Structure 1
Amino acid sequence: MTGSDRPVVAVVGPTGSGKTALGVELALRLDGEVVNADSMQFYRGMDIGTAKATAEERRGVPHHLLDVLDVTEEASVADFQRAARTCIAEIRSRGRVPVVVGGSGLYVRAALDVLELPGTDPAVRARIEGELAERGPGALRERLRQVDPESAARLRDERRLVRALEVWELTGRPFTSFMPRREYVQPTVQLGLDVDRAELRTRLARRVGAMVEAGLEAEVHGLAQRGLREGRTASRALGYGQFLDVLDGRATVEEAVEATVVATRRFARRQLTWFRADPRVHWLDPSGSGLVERAVQVVDRAAAPA
């Protein structure tokens, strides 16, 4: 079976489950190229704390949409969607298989699914953010409840609350009306890595410890000098905010490690909830033998004529 016969492949699942390694293996087996869909791996210099694949770990496989933003820039789902779909089309034009890899659920869906993204207006957003700072999230939530009660009930994050009001002002439509449908833009197969919960907890603690040993604190220190604290998106990455607290004297290294482990485990649970809700994901046990072969079989079955 040639690359042009196979669907787009996506490798999804919680952080620490082995998505990066499987994505590289599949790209090698299927004559593919990797498209990154981890929103924190867009950032230059955020390598250790995001477990970004090294040149050696990429094993010669082309990787796209890594290191495309400075830490002061804000990640945008709309910008990512355009860039990811361009990458996928170009990979297809070379007769190769796009392998989308990442655990940022909305970004994965922006790349794969029918999804309309509303525009932005910096002036409108700045005004709403000013209102948030002056009056607090309760007032904004109440205003949103009047025009978009579903979003008001669902959104907890202040940033998304601001975004929902911005979308309403710009389009006159509720934020929820722009949610993606479970409809692929082109033939696609999603492979999810289903790690035992206890094993995943152990893996994540071990992973954070390894990051610290590899120099996470020094990485954060260098990025702080490049504006990490001012980065609206990058500064919230797991481990980076916690180690900024170390640099600023608000926490010890031990406290930052524990806080990062707790936050990472919580994030992994949210990722699992997101991807479990999608019935199209084919779940694979990465602890069993022949993971790559099992994954290839799923891809080839999806490509076979009905």
Structure 2
Amino acid sequence: MGGVGPGRGVVAVVGATGTGKSDLAIEIARAVGGEIVNTDSMQFYRGMDIGTAKLAPEERGGIPHHLLDVLEVTEEASVAAFQAEADAAVRQLLDRGKTPVLVGGSGLYVRAAVDELEFPPTDPQVRSRLEEEARRRGIGPLAERLAAVDPVSAGRLKDERRIIRALEVHEITGRTFESFMPQRRYLRPTVQLGLAMDRAELHARLELRIERMMREGLVEEARRLCGHGLREARTASRAIGYRQALEVIDGTMNEAEAAASTLTATRQFARRQETWFRADPRVIWLDATAPDLLEQALRAVADGLPHGDTLVP
């Protein structure tokens, strides 16, 4: 199969969980001389393997993977930190003449990796003062203050945490929170490939996946991670599957109930992922079950990135 020349840009494989993104990304990377960059926020965590459907090293087709297993479960995943790390990984790959193939369904992390995205700064002292004011006076006066300096955000934000965040940003920068909202502008030439499939088929796939996770020892994995701080972790402990596994460990669910709860949550998450990626008109949608899926994907890459040779089987 033909390849594309160096310096061509970035490929991102996106879509709902269970659609086969990881497998397609590996095939694309093999075909175009690329390496994988992970954009699944839960796959950043070391030891969270079964519940995130993380490919084992022997399942990665010999293709190097970047930004997997970079955090302990007690650490907080940060989109801003990821943005810098992803940019460094992409630059390094392009400098080596490799095609970065991003793969994952965490929408904001994908945007952080491929788009011009500016994150508003934070100041713990400012936020603490605003939180204390909200405790003393209620959120009403803060909402009124936000309406005076940032009426667009004030009309959109209703919960206390976000109102405080918008006021924090305005106090630090003098800019409205709305001014930091991202535009759809790529940092560099990029092709986003979205995988889609019939919902009933996706639900059947997800059911099989959850059954396999339980069979392979998701509860035991969670029990082991409790020794590394999973239960106290703010983000990792709430991950789909791990939250339910902790309830099994605590005796508030049995494994069958945990599997059913995990399946429901995963289906809901898949719908949210599809809604997020469908909102981006730049995504090229492909049928995940098409027999010529790889050929379609490679044609889209060749058509969408500069300096590419025609990719044909």
- TM norm. shorter chain > 0.5: yes
Greater Cα offset, 271-280 or 135-144: 135-144
Check the 8 A contact 2:39/2:103 in 1, yes or no: yes
Aligned mates of 2:165, 2:290 — CA distance in 1: 42
Matched, 1:277 2:279: yes
The one-letter code sitting in structure 1 at the alignment partner of 2:243 is G
List aligned pairs for 1:22-37, cutoff 5 A: 22-37=24-39
Output the TM-score relative to the length of structure 2.
0.88
In structure 2, the CA distance between the partners of 1:86 and 1:157, relative to structure 1 (3 Å rule), is: farther
* Of 20, 23, 26, the match for 2:22: 20
Once the two structures are TM-superposed, the CA of residue 143 in structure 1 deviates from its matched residue by: 6.7
List aligned pairs for 1:37-48, cutoff 5 A: 37-48=39-50
The one-letter code sitting in structure 2 at the alignment partner of 1:285 is D
Which residue is equivalent to 1:104? 106
Q: What value does the CA root-mean-square deviation take over the aligned residues? A: 2.6
Once the two structures are TM-superposed, the CA of residue 223 in structure 1 deviates from its matched residue by: 1.2
Q: Deviations over 1:149-187 (max 9, x none)?
A: 544565688765664454344323333321221110100
Check the 8 A contact 1:168/1:174 in 2, yes or no: yes
Aligned mates of 2:164, 2:59 — CA distance in 1: 39
Greater Cα offset, 115-124 or 271-280: 115-124
Aligned mates of 1:134, 1:252 — CA distance in 2: 43
Aligned mates of 2:10, 2:26 — CA distance in 1: 14
Aligned mates of 1:108, 1:144 — CA distance in 2: 30
Which residue is equivalent to 1:188? 190
Can you give the 5+ residue segments of structure 1 that lack an aligned partner in the other structure?
Answer: none
Q: Deviations over 1:70-106 (max 9, x none)?
A: 1111111110000000000000010010001111111
Aligned mates of 2:199, 2:304 — CA distance in 1: 28
Which residue is equivalent to 2:55? 53
SS of alignment partner, residue 228 of structure 1: coil
Once the two structures are TM-superposed, the CA of residue 58 in structure 1 deviates from its matched residue by: 0.7
Check the 8 A contact 2:27/2:294 in 1, yes or no: yes
Output the TM-score relative to the length of structure 1.
0.90
SS of alignment partner, residue 47 of structure 2: coil
Aligned mates of 1:61, 1:228 — CA distance in 2: 30
Once the two structures are TM-superposed, the CA of residue 236 in structure 1 deviates from its matched residue by: 1.7
Check the 8 A contact 2:190/2:305 in 1, yes or no: no
The percent identity for this pair of structures is 59
* Of 245, 248, 251, the match for 1:246: 248
Check the 8 A contact 1:7/1:302 in 2, yes or no: no
Greater Cα offset, 177-186 or 127-136: 127-136
Which residue is equivalent to 2:175? 173
Once the two structures are TM-superposed, the CA of residue 135 in structure 1 deviates from its matched residue by: 8.8
SS of alignment partner, residue 184 of structure 1: coil
Check the 8 A contact 1:3/1:32 in 2, yes or no: no
List aligned pairs for 1:76-225, cutoff 5 A: 76-126=78-128, 148=150, 150-151=152-153, 154=156, 163-225=165-227
Aligned mates of 1:242, 1:142 — CA distance in 2: 40
In structure 2, the CA distance between the partners of 1:302 and 1:235, relative to structure 1 (3 Å rule), is: same
Check the 8 A contact 1:39/1:75 in 2, yes or no: yes
Once the two structures are TM-superposed, the CA of residue 200 in structure 1 deviates from its matched residue by: 1.1
Matched, 1:299 2:311: no
Aligned mates of 1:188, 1:151 — CA distance in 2: 31
Aligned mates of 2:169, 2:204 — CA distance in 1: 40
Once the two structures are TM-superposed, the CA of residue 215 in structure 1 deviates from its matched residue by: 0.6
Which residue is equivalent to 2:228? 226
The one-letter code sitting in structure 1 at the alignment partner of 2:82 is F
Check the 8 A contact 1:3/1:97 in 2, yes or no: no
Check the 8 A contact 2:36/2:103 in 1, yes or no: yes
In structure 2, the CA distance between the partners of 1:268 and 1:65, relative to structure 1 (3 Å rule), is: same
Check the 8 A contact 1:28/1:61 in 2, yes or no: yes
The one-letter code sitting in structure 2 at the alignment partner of 1:218 is E
Q: Deviations over 1:21-75 (max 9, x none)?
A: 1111111111001100001111111111011111011111111001111111111
Greater Cα offset, 133-142 or 36-45: 133-142
Matched, 1:287 2:294: no
Aligned mates of 2:93, 2:41 — CA distance in 1: 20
Can you give the 5+ residue segments of structure 2 that lack an aligned partner in the other structure?
Answer: 309-313
In structure 2, the CA distance between the partners of 1:239 and 1:133, relative to structure 1 (3 Å rule), is: farther
